[in-house]
Chains A and B, each alone.
Chain A
Amino acid sequence: MAYLSESILTYILLAPLVGAILIALLPDRGKLPAWIGLLTTLVTFLLTLHLPAHFMVGQHGFQFEINRTWIENPAISYHVGIDGLSVWFVALVGLLAPIGILVSWNVIQKRRKVFYALFLVQQTAMFGVFLSLDLILFYGFWELSLVPMAILIAVYGRKDGPRAALKFFLFTFIPSAPFLVAILWLYAHTGSFNFSDLQMLIASGSLPAGALFWVALAFLFAFTVKVPVFPLHGWLADTFSEAPVALAMVVAGKLGLYSMLRFHIGLFPVQARAIAPLLVALAVIGLLYGACLALVQRDFWRLLAFAAFSHLSLITLGIYGLTFTGWDGAIYQVLNHGVVDAALFLLLAILEMRFGTSQIAAYGGLARKVPQTATFFVIASLAMIGLPMLNGFVGEFLILSSTFIGVSHSWAIAATVGVILGAAYMLWLVQRIFYGPEEALALSADGKDLRPVEQLALWPLAALMLVMGLAPSLWLPTIESRTGPPTFRSASALSRFNSSPVVQVGGQQ
């Protein structure tokens, strides 16, 4: 077991890659690629579960750390490690992967080899982003994550795949130009790409403050586009409505939010504090704007895209409120969002496959025809809305209460309005699809209810929604033992359940 712990992170990174190579080498016959994919992702998921199981709660610094020189000059190292921030992100990606494969089981009919191989490469890239503690390594995985996504959108897009893929790629690739220059500038002035070293050096104040402002901004710009934060969300709706369901649910939001916490606030606490008011405002605007857009969509993929945009904005609000409670809530909410969104994506994909359309108006009164689908959909919607006892509630409550106490009353009230709008569009969607008069579609098409494979994917998600809602204490202690920015570190132990703004705590030191 000790041996496993030593290089577990390498195994997690390599496992999907091995699966991808295996799929690429073996013939594209029947469901063989899908089976290999499922097996690989299950093994990877078990590997990721090793991390929370052996995670030392309360220990500061990174765990399961591996630090080896990769290239001597410039000094790039293979440096990976996890802390309370990343451990559950990794497990979440691990969990979503087999579900993503199950989602694609019947949907992907042609060129399975391409799909499953690239899907697994995407897994490696995402794990890499969450594990890397070397900026170039991080940048590498960050960029790598674009490629499988873009190709798969282009190949399996619903209507105009290549256009959506190009939009997605350019939107996220171009901001990484200033991002890379910023990394290179840091290296030119510090001689290090190492996260912990850079954290110390930047905190020591030896770097010119004026330039650091731009460097921090370049980092932030790349991350906000990826989340996305208002007004940089242009790519999201097209990507969600074109991307294969499995990828959309695996990718959505997590990378950007994690990077904000780790590499923007983590590296540049001073600059983050300076720019936080702007981001709080943008987040609230995005929250309201996304909710309003979701209300008027006719296509349920686009509705889900704007709903996700709205929820991701709420998480951004939690992050840039710069309170410990807000951060706990934000991280927890990312996990919730991953689980709930996966369920919703899966259910909508099932509907689209059975009834052949994503136009909401075509549906109506389906509850009688597909009762199990309807039940799962209602549970997931309620979790998304934030009904107490389900997981969405915990995260939203932490974020909103920390904003109310720690940031400003008015922003918190505005955000709450957005959450209420969220309830409106979700419930209205449920009503339009499953209840009301039965439309011709529901009567004519011989849509079947859930298949065993689909049940297999949905039950764990529904169970998680409930457990995460009832017992957040299973998760929160781990989340709280993360490595904060250096100035905040000593405070973090004190103010576990204290919503006092970090800005003041940090300022007093």
Chain B
Amino acid sequence: MNTFTPRPAQSQILTYTGGKMGISAVPGSGKTHTLSALAAQLIRSGAVSGEQEVLIVTLVNSAVDNFSSRIKEFLELPMPFGYRVRTLHGLAHDIVREKPSAVGLEERFAILDEREAGSISKESASAWLQAHPGELDGYLLPDMEQGKHDWVHRQLLPDLVTNIALAFIRSAKDNRLTPEKLRHMLNVAPTPLPLAEMGLSIYSDYQRALAYRGAVDFDDLIRLAIDLLENDIEFLERLRYRWPFILEDEAQDSSRLQEQILRLLSGEAGNWVRVGDPNQAIFETFTTASPQHLLDFIHFEASQYNELPDSGRCQPRIIDLANRLIKWVNGEHPESSVRDALTVPFIRPTPADDPQPNPPDDPQGVKLISNKYTPDEEVEAVVKSLDHWLPEHQDATVAVLVPRNQRGADVINALKRRDIDFVELLGSTSSTRIAAARLGDIVGALTDPQSSARLAAAYLAWRREGEEDSNNDFQHQVAGLIRKCGAVETFISPRTGVDWLTGVASENDETVLDELDEFRGLVRRWQGTTLLPVDQMVLTLSQDLFTSPTDLALVHKLALVLRQVSDDHRDWRLPELNGELSLIARNERRFLGFSEDDSGFDPSHHPGKVVVTTMHKAKGLEWDRVYLVSVNNYDFPSGQPNDRYIPEKWFVRDGLNMEAETLSQLEAACATGEFNFYTEGVATQSARLDYVRERLRLLYVGITRARKDLVLTWNTGRTGKQTPAIPFIALQGWWEESRK
């Protein structure tokens, strides 16, 4: 039973019965709860019939479960009846799945994940570079020495072109341009657009590769869903009837096309509730997502507007700091054109007697550390602070939030050195990666069966499940023995009289020998699986490796993925397939697993441990204490002359942002207006400002993750030239002033 007592602002929203409503919510204002309560109320009130559903649309998969279980609690029904929670991609998939052939797909069309899409575009990009050597030379620094020039060509350009291609393809799809349409547009363009030509060439190649595999990517799903809805009015009407209410969460991150799906589904006079916090729009770089879509909806389309300004999450000082950031940005940011990056409402502490009171006021809880650290020193300082703080706060939650994954790895290494417990939340979750790595170790031993080192690794992987029961020394002893075995066959498949195990019997006690004997029995069985198709092999191995339901579910999914990979690459054998497992294990292939952190991470489950994650991933989460690191002018530039921008490559002339320039050429190709021609450099400038805005919001998100304590630090960067971010300096000045 859910005992939800709404605050006045939340109650106001629960009076909704229909129409278009926009809601601005501040961090921690309970929007998931309010939206779930609204869904349950609409269902209970009988506003949806037996055939209908309230459609709840969220941004990420982890939120789906969260919504589902809350509505279930509100409704007190054993089955999730009367509603459907989907991500936008999930929704697009549902729509396309109903009529795949209407958009040229067969019924079991495959959806490529980001890694596979990335690898196809990489292949296409390489092919383009090979066919057009020197074509991009005009964009490179003119005075590079030959050796450097060659190195850039060999090492750096392929990645750059791949990234440009990915952005180009995504943008073309977002503009619903097929390669054919785009070809036509470029043919009639008044001026040559070489970057767009390159983008189109790779895009065409990429689409052919997809068609060959019978697959679509995530962006195709959205595009095809809209095609379907626009071309089949009867179908659209049916879906409108099925989903008479649409409740959209995180609306600030919807792209133009995603918004269009929901606009089509809700219809002119439909019922569409959009909740979002424009200040937390942090996903729009090089997508058409923009908080402006939500703001426009609120200002021009919605007939009802509400705010959820009360938040019981942070202590008053942290709220003040976050509100101050909004005020400073709006009124004092040195780059006046980004002053719209953050917007009101300000965060308001919850009213008295609220069931969710704010943590008590603590002026000591906010620390803006002005020390000029090197990157290593900064990490060391944070870890030292944690080492000092943790013993006293074993029941409290804490996180270190980094701007990029690589910085997270640095923090983790430092935590390991100090033996501090941590939970990693970067890319695939660690439990998913651990499972993939264990499986990978076994497959590794089968790929290279003569290697005793790999066999020892496989042994440890097999036993890793028992790692926590203090048998580590024993296992390492056994692994050490296996490693010393010179000829693996004399251990695994000895012929009469030449059994390695007998040879080592005199120096080892019986438990070790029994362990080795059991292991070799298993290895023999595993060797038999190498002849099976990869999915069957993985499933068979998993029976000896895993017992937890989440791991087993994960392996089943891994088996499906590997089978797909193997069908797509018929010439691949175990080493290549094992390579895919390694990618998952090394976090290079994003793979949604089944553990708690995949389906909705809950920081309160990890008290006394340091959670390390990115500021992006921290959205929606909260901790008692939060460290925000690297708040310098590299990760948070402000449009100032000495700022550097990550998307601008050092080897490109004039500081051009090649992705932005390419997209700008794409835009010029589509434009019909007389004055929409392409001018080099304009897009780079505009991308800088977008980036500055997004980073300001990222900082705001970071600050509002902290409940009681917040620590901000910065570092001088790799070159030693970085300075504290200007918003950092501004907040620090204000903070010191206010404390006087």
Task: Decide whether A and B assemble into one complex.
Answer: no
Residue positions of B touching A, CB distance < 8 A:
none
Could you list which residues of chain A lie within 8 angstroms of chain B, going by C-beta atoms? none
